[in-house]
Amino acid sequence: MRVRKKPWAEQEVQENSRVIQNAEEKKGHWAEFFGNHNPIYVEIGCGKGGFLTKSAAAEPDVNFIGIERQLTVVAVAARRAGEDAPNLAFVWSDAKKLSDFFEAGEFQRLYLNFCDPWPKKRTYKRRLTYREFLRGYREAMGENAEIFFKTDNRGLFEFSLNEFCAEDWKLSNISLDLHNSDFTGNIMTEYEEKFSAKGMPIYRLEARSRK
């Protein structure tokens, strides 16, 4: 996601208590940060935070962490979240290795929402559902790992189905047209709202580790 640079973004990131700049220091101590031992759900590439802000309001007994590498974007997300969501935080960093930020099992669910499809064949290893990434997620989450994945890109979805199966994840709630299915409780991202308004199908699945 690219957004125009905001003159206040750097100060917002420095001063907003929701923004964690050195997440490695929180590894093993997220319960202390949130002040409770509630489950922790993580979104990679959280954008402007609309999905997580709504999720945090809907599930106050779950702690949500959004990881975003772009300074302006994470500043917008933190500012928009306001003061009413003590169960929400943002990490300003590149999520290359989640085990740098979390002890094994410290978070229980990962959201991959509308990540870059990297459509060219030579770039397939950059897709966040590529098998090496899936192994890293499992390592970070432990034996009870689960991933909720959504995309508007059919090619990426088909690729992801194969990758999850190759790594022996158990799949459920697979949808080829989410908004015309009987699935309930869906919370839309900003991208999802735009895509669905154009009549584009949304693909979704849930994956859980068998190990």
| Candidate list 84, 116, 152, 177, residue with the active-site label | 116
Instruction: Confirm whether 61 is a catalytic residue.
Output: no
- Distance, CA of 40 to CA of 24 (rounded, Å): 16
Strand 146-151 relative to strand 203-209: parallel, antiparallel, unpaired?
Answer: antiparallel
Which position has the token pair 């979704």?
Answer: 204
b/e sequence 50-59, b meaning 16+ C-beta within 10 Å: bbbbebbeee
- DSSP 8-state class, residue 30: H
Structure tokens at 179: 């908004």
Supply the residues annotated as catalytic. Answer: 116
